[in-house]
Amino acid sequence: MTNSTPSDFRSENQSDQRKIPFSEVVITRTRNHFFGRKWKTADIQVASWFIFVHLLALFAPFAFTWEAFWIASVGCLLTGMLGITLSYHRLLSHHSLKLPKWLEYSFVYFGVLAAQYQERKNVEDLKNQMFYVFIHKTYMWHLFGCGALLYACGGFSYVVWGMGVRIVWLYHITFCVNSVCHIWGNQTWNTSDLSKNNWWVGILAFGEGWHNNHHAFEYSARHGFEWWQIDVTWYIIKFLEAIGLATNIKVPTNLQKFKKSIFSSDDTFND
């Protein structure tokens, strides 16, 4: 055996690194999430559901009708924008605004039909509300009920587009927020992480693609700060505020923005 020098060790480590194309992000190690892991019952259930909805979506070209297409499109707006982005994320997770309970519960129910977040690890305060306890205990039944209603109204094509295509589309847009927006885009704020603002994810994800903005000011109900940063969810929030339904809306002040600016010094201000 030969002894390795520090330079040899660095060289070996560097040989394992891989730069992601068209970005400055370097992968230093990879993980296999499928093989060599201990699969739990919950993992198998989630994987089975993912496989099912993706297989269902594959029937889309053969089950296309314009009615089914619009069912999926409207469903994306209700379950993706109002359900996930506005209520699950900005309202429940970050408490960026307040809504009347009847409207909060309505939007949250749309989020249930997006089939994304059954666990409530970061929203412990919800466990004391009967509505959320009920939803948690009966979660899958609401999805089955949605599928049954779609089938009763429009047959198999409604199920394929209203469940399969809609849910798969929203899944992958959500995945883009947590992957693409940490690789490609621009950083405006000093967040000490890889979060980026990505314009096309911003459009497709109803404003969630302005991810560096969100990481800098997680409490903010507004993600697209500039006029050209399209944030459809924010427009809905402002409309709800205008008609008196949204209150306690949180946005960063100019001073808070300056302190997070990449051009400012960390010690410019002292708290």
Show me where the domains of the chain are located. 53-260
* Res 21: pLDDT: 84
Helix axes 101-112, 130-137, angle to 10 degrees: 10
Q: Are 86 and 98 in contact (CB under 8 A)?
A: no
pLDDT tens digits, 226-257: 999 999 999 999 999 999 999 999 999 999 99
**Three-state SS at 107:** helix
49 pLDDT band (50/70/90 cuts)? very high
Report CA-CA distances (Å) from 108 to 38, 48, 51, 261.
33, 24, 25, 34
Instruction: Convert the pLDDT of each residue in 102-116 to its tens digit.
Output: 999 999 999 999 998
**What average pLDDT is seen over the chain?**
88
* Whole-prediction pTM: 0.86
